[in-house]
């Protein structure tokens, strides 16, 4: 088994090995089927490494130029669909190196000087994730913008507010939608914070202990736009905290998407009827012709489990690993790739759903907020304004609600005379205070649902998201 990878034969390893892998173990061991995703990042890192080797005098400039031109040729072949490594290449790193040797001959064997696959894969994965984070941020902003547009259109629409999924108090629909805009802003901040720790270069840490080759780690870090390098070579090759952190941030994003998805499902139910689903974002039943099913929010709600599961899988994979590199780390990629893909798909789907997949029904919403006891707290507030202690006012209103339920009435249906039987300070202006629109308008505490406060937040978010002239 002479030559190994540097000899360009089918064998991967050095001449220490006399036999090849069992075919089943070769398949089990190979990661080329999924880590080919990192091809562009592997090429980027290799180009930076080759140029650094020349700058440090490890290879001459002509050799570096040959290596870089060969790497760019592989990039072109991949773009043309003609670079298709197989399972005998084991992983993307060996696939690139073998093809480079085939293209440039013996000089290709110099590329791996001063590095290991251990720091190489860590570099590739960070470059890949950094790009995905940069692509994710505008998608989150687009979703925020879709929510904001709906909020602007419904700045005067009311919706029942719930606690424990029981009618609690009416709120402005725009206020409800802006709550999700706030959640998504925290998601953006988390991803931005994760990016800072992703953006650190392990390249040059080699297998685990550094290298005697006179390399310049800061040079490759700068060439790849990393903000710095790992200070400890053991930590550099064994750190997957960034993958866990990203998956945790993505899990929270999915939580927020799923919470809104659940509300849309509820709103679209016949029992609720607060929204209509468009044909663009709903499906029918194969048996029941009248059905229109909320597949988009249901799928988003279901796909949360994938992301949560990958987070748990990553934590479990890492928790018992000794320093430094272990083959267990091969399991990080498929998990991370799927976390990213699932998050991207769900964000896109929910954005389309909010933009064109549903329409609110103000008539149903108006009827809902006017047909319950969600204005009961406002009676207590009315009494408090007349010097009745809150807890006493609370008990009075409880008695009123109990009597209304017994008589099949709403608070608005009671006559002033009946109201005064509960407390003599009640006057005719109570009926204005009980009107749902006034109930909402009165909540002017900072962060509240009062229309004036909501207008302030609409203006603020319109400015942040570039809709200032809406």
Q: Where are the domains of the chain?
A: 4-113, 118-362, 369-464
Instruction: Kindly give the residue spans of alpha helices, DSSP state H, lying in 38-167.
Output: 39-55, 61-80, 92-104, 117-153
Specify whether 116 is catalytic. Answer: no
pTM score above 0.85: yes
CATH code assigned to 369-464? 1.10.40.30
User: Beta-strand (E) ranges in 305-462?
Assistant: 358-360
* Residue in 82, 164, 286, 406 annotated catalytic: 164
Sign of the four-CA dihedral 139, 142, 144, 146:
negative
Phi and psi at residue 2, in whole multiples of 5°? -85, 145
* Residue in 14, 69, 285, 359 annotated catalytic: 285
Specify whether 176 is catalytic. Answer: no
CATH code assigned to 118-362? 1.20.200.10
What's the pLDDT score for residue 51?
98
Spell out the residues 6+ positions from residue 20 whose beta carbon is closer than 8 angstroms to its own.
Answer: 1, 10, 11, 26
What's the pLDDT score for residue 469?
55
Q: Splitting the chain (470 residues) into consecutive groups of 10 residues, what average pLDDT does each group show? A: 44 67 90 96 98 98 98 98 94 97 97 97 98 98 98 97 94 98 98 98 98 98 98 98 98 98 96 93 77 92 97 97 96 98 98 96 94 91 94 94 94 93 94 94 96 98 85
CATH code assigned to 4-113? 1.10.275.10
Q: Which of 200, 195, 205, 196 is nearest to 232 (CA)?
A: 205
What's the pLDDT score for residue 1?
32
């Amino acid at each position: 088994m002479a030559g190994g990878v540097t000899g360009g034969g089918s064998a991967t390893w050095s001449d220490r090995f006399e036999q090849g892998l069992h075919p089943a173990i070769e398949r089990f061991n190979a990661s080329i089927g999924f880590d080919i995703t990192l091809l562009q990042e592997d090429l980027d890192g290799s180009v930076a490494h080759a140029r650094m080797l020349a700058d440090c005098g490890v290879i001459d400039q002509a050799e570096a130029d040959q290596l870089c031109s060969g790497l760019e040729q592989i990039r072109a072949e991949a773009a043309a669909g003609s670079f298709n490594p197989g399972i005998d290449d084991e992983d993307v790193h060996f696939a690139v190196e073998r093809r480079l040797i085939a293209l440039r001959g013996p000089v290709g064997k110099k590329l791996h000087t001063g590095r290991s696959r251990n720091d190489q894969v860590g570099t590739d994965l960070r470059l890949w994730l950094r790009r995905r984070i940069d692509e994710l941020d505008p998608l989150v902003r687009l979703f925020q913008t879709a929510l904001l547009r709906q909020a602007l259109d419904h700045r005067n629409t009311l919706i029942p507010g719930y606690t424990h999924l029981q009618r609690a108090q009416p709120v402005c629909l725009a206020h409800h939608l802006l709550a999700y805009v706030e959640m998504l802003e925290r998601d953006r901040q988390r991803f931005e914070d994760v990016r800072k720790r992703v953006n650190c270069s392990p390249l040059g840490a080699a297998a685990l202990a550094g290298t005697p080759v006179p390399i310049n780690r800061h040079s490759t870090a700068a060439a790849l736009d990393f903000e710095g390098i790992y200070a400890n070579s053991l930590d550099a090759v064994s750190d997957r905290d960034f993958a866990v952190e990203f998956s945790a941030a993505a899990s929270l994003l999915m939580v927020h998407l799923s919470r809104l998805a659940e509300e849309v499902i509820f709103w679209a139910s016949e029992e609720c009827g607060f929204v209509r689903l468009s044909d663009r974002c709903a499906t029918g039943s194969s048996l029941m012709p009248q059905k229109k099913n909320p597949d988009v929010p249901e799928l988003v709600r279901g796909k949360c489990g994938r992301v949560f599961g990958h987070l748990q899988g990553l934590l479990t994979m890492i928790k018992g690993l000794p320093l430094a590199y272990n083959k267990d780390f091969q399991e990080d990629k498929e998990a991370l790739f799927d976390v990213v893909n699932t998050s991207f798909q769900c964000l896109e789907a929910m954005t389309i759903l909010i933009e064109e997949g549903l329409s609110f029904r103000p008539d149903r919403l108006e009827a809902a907020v006017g047909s319950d006891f969600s204005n009961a707290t406002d009676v207590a507030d009315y009494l408090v304004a007349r010097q009745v202690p809150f807890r006493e006012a609370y008990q009075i209103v409880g008695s009123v609600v109990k009597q209304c339920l017994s008589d099949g009435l709403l608070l608005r249906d009671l006559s002033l005379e009946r109201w005064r039987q509960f407390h003599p300070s009640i006057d005719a202006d109570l009926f204005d205070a009980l009107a749902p629109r006034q109930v909402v308008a009165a909540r002017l505490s900072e962060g509240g649902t009062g229309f004036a406060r909501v207008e302030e937040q609409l203006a603020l978010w319109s400015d942040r998201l570039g809709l200032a002239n809406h």
